[in-house]
Structure 1
Amino acid sequence: MAEKRRAEDAEPITAQETKKAKSDGTKQDDPHWATPLSSFQDFEMIKILNDHPKTKSVFVHGKFKGREEEAVVILEKTPFSEETLPIALSGETKLKVGLKNDIYGNYHGTPPAQVNGIKVSVVYPATPKHLVKYSQQESYLVQETEDDYKNITLPFLEKEAFRIQWVYNILEHKMESERIVYEDPDKETGFILLPDMKWDLKQVNDLYLIAIVHKHGIRSLRDLTAKHLPLLHNILKKGQQAIREKFNIPPCKLRIYLHYQPSYYHLHVHFTHLNFDAPGSGVERAHLLTDVIEHLEMMTDYYTKKTLSFCLRENDQLLAEFKKAGRVPEKSV
């Protein structure tokens, strides 16, 4: 699934969250914080940007009636849970035979509404960058050297305007404070731990939490040095402890990692259950926190000098910068 990364990036909010009152007094009908989606009656689809049969999700470009701003709506089939499974297997689910051959059979089932829901996420107002980001595109593997970072990536980051006000809203308890699982308020080594929006909080096997650091100015893995080891150790230890206490999941069942390139340029750490095939958890993007700590303990500026590989999509502006510098071929061979 596409991740959150570029200029003017906005945090997707679920339809259920649109009814929340904003703590700083902004009116609910302000389109820059609330989506007008309460049902699909007023949503007009323009086109499908992308779909993922494996994850049973689809990304739709559209508009709301009477609104000029465009939107991206993300639909995902919700997983079964222990609570809803007995309902799905009851007489309330209507079955229609699809194929019957000896001992094998398959059916089309229509379960009751309470077990047939979809998760709805919305990006609104959606910018042209969002439409590009959520569209199906080819990917390219980039190998970024120390010089590449200094001469290509860093200048790109510094000239682009990245909108991460939603991160500061969380850190300042202006938004989503009721979702916080754990907080260490220390300004140097502290963080807030809360559920990622990919997790519906219903099954621990799909657990996905994000630790967002309180300290400002650490954009990504590249900025980390040995002086940040107390921060990283603190996130690892207290994050594991909080998850064990809250969800009864031991550290050996957790995948704890950082993304490079990250979804947004304020340091954050991902906590996912090992049973969950989380987007972005592959080797081309994820760096285990324990490995990061060990590398910095061995070499204080390890991530300043290390060549880092990551994927960029064909319409990504950073990829254009790498192509312009001759670091990525213009066309596939």
Structure 2
Amino acid sequence: MMDLELLQTFQFERILNDDPATHSITVLGALAQHTDEGHGARTAILRIEKLPLPSAIAEDPASSLSKFNATEHTDIYSWGSGWLKPDPDRPDVKINIIHPATEVHIRKVDAFCVAYTHYSKQELRMVQETPELYERIVKPYISAFPTSRIQWVYDILSGKSEADKVLFRNPDPDQGFVILPDMKWDLTTLGSLYLVAIVLTKEIKSLRDLRKRHLSMLKSIRSEATRIVAEKWGLRDGSLRCYIHYQPSYYHFHVHIVHVNYVGSMGSTVGQAHLLDDIISLLELDPEDGPSILERMTFTYALGEQHGLYKGMVAAQKS
């Protein structure tokens, strides 16, 4: 478990990514490691993100500030810089930590559902994935994906970790799923509400594996998510945007459930996110027999240059 004392041992190496859009910075360094063999430092990644402003600053700006410096004014417009007063009940930043971190972590797509938000900044390239390219390049890549990389998913599904955070669980091995808060949410700000539904079955790696028989499960995810946010946070119908990533950041099927006003992630943009409602509609058009429409479609999406599919898919575009 991470604490302030251990965090104070952090030795900075370099900035991996500085993202003004999400008010976050990701840094590489080392943290102390205590083992049976002694003490040492192990590679660590810290992602530090500014949390949303408290509502109190809107209600009473003056009392929320400890200092204000006017910068400039012109005609009716003025601006300046303010310093918020410390509040023991409200943290200022959220820190995600990977320790020890490997080279794969440093260059990979964030394995905790921040799809296409990278630890290391990288260029993106749009590619088209035909059914033939899926079979020849993508499917073998998915099959070779180490299960150890998603052990944390299996720990959640088995109840070994985060059991107290699960908001809903359907234990059916084929149609079941869990819904719980995503680690990116501060659990307080409703405008940035972020949940995730993770299915129990291991047969669905990505949306390419969805079939008409999965419609009941997908509709249940949609209805349970709507019920949960209504009962727990008083959000009315139409307050959620539910979507599926392709390519996903990890190959165990999951659905992102965010507040409709949440705009803090590149993962909700076109070429990355597919609305759950649209996927349900496509599957409803499927014939009872024969290949699924999701098997027959060509998908266009962005790949980062550090992604394991990048070289093969980019090379395939030339032909």
Q: Shorter-chain TM-score category?
A: 0.7 to 0.9
Instruction: Give, in whole Å, the separation in 1 of the partners of 2:82 and 2:12.
Output: 27
Q: Cα deviations across residues 219-255 of structure 1 (Å, max 9, x unaligned)?
A: 0101001111111111111221122111111231210
Which residue does 2:155 correspond to in 1?
A: 169
Alignment-mate amino acid for residue 301 of structure 2: F
Shift in Å, 1:85: 5.0
Which residue does 1:302 correspond to in 2?
A: 293
Shift in Å, 1:181: 1.7
**Helix, strand or coil for the counterpart of 1:250?**
coil
The alpha-carbon distance between structure 1 residues 320 and 68, as it changes in their structure 2 partners (threshold 3 A), is farther
2:24 to 45, 57, 62: 57
Q: Cα deviations across residues 75-116 of structure 1 (Å, max 9, x unaligned)?
A: 111111325655753065211222244433222212122256
Shift in Å, 1:157: 1.6
TM-score between both structures, scaled by the size of structure 2: 0.86
Shift in Å, 1:177: 1.2
**Residue 210 (structure 1) aligned with residue 196 (structure 2):** yes
Instruction: Give, in whole Å, the separation in 2 of the partners of 1:81 and 1:267.
Output: 34
Which has the higher mean CA deviation after the structures are superposed, 105-114 or 264-273? 105-114
**Helix, strand or coil for the counterpart of 2:261?**
coil
2:176 to 186, 190, 202: 190
The alpha-carbon distance between structure 1 residues 181 and 84, as it changes in their structure 2 partners (threshold 3 A), is farther
Instruction: Give, in whole Å, the separation in 2 of the partners of 1:91 and 1:267.
Output: 43
**Residue 104 (structure 1) aligned with residue 77 (structure 2):** yes
Aligned residues: 295
Instruction: Give, in whole Å, the separation in 2 of the partners of 1:188 and 1:238.
Output: 17
Instruction: Give, in whole Å, the separation in 2 of the partners of 1:91 and 1:293.
Output: 46
The alpha-carbon distance between structure 1 residues 37 and 90, as it changes in their structure 2 partners (threshold 3 A), is closer
Which residue does 1:121 correspond to in 2?
A: 96
Written as runs of structure 1 = structure 2, the 5 A alignment for 1:1-333 is 18=1, 35=2, 38=5, 40-65=7-32, 67-83=40-56, 89-90=62-63, 92-114=65-87, 117-133=92-108, 134-162=119-147, 163-279=149-265, 280-300=267-287, 301-323=292-314, 326-328=315-317
Instruction: Give, in whole Å, the separation in 1 of the partners of 2:82 and 2:93.
Output: 16
| Unaligned ranges ≥5, structure 1 | 1-17, 19-34
**Helix, strand or coil for the counterpart of 2:14?**
strand
Instruction: Give, in whole Å, the separation in 1 of the partners of 2:316 and 2:262.
Output: 34
C-alpha contact (below 8 Å) 2:73/2:79 kept by paired residues? yes
C-alpha contact (below 8 Å) 1:244/1:250 kept by paired residues? yes
Shift in Å, 1:320: 1.5
C-alpha contact (below 8 Å) 2:64/2:85 kept by paired residues? no
C-alpha contact (below 8 Å) 2:168/2:179 kept by paired residues? yes
Task: State percent identity of aligned pairs.
Answer: 37
**Helix, strand or coil for the counterpart of 1:228?**
helix
The alpha-carbon distance between structure 1 residues 87 and 69, as it changes in their structure 2 partners (threshold 3 A), is farther
| Runs of 4+ with >3 A deviation | 35-40, 65-68, 83-89, 100-103
Query: Superposition RMSD on alpha carbons, in Å?
Result: 2.1
| Unaligned ranges ≥5, structure 2 | 33-38, 109-118
Shift in Å, 1:329: 5.3
The alpha-carbon distance between structure 1 residues 235 and 91, as it changes in their structure 2 partners (threshold 3 A), is closer
TM-score between both structures, scaled by the size of structure 1: 0.83
Shift in Å, 1:74: 0.3
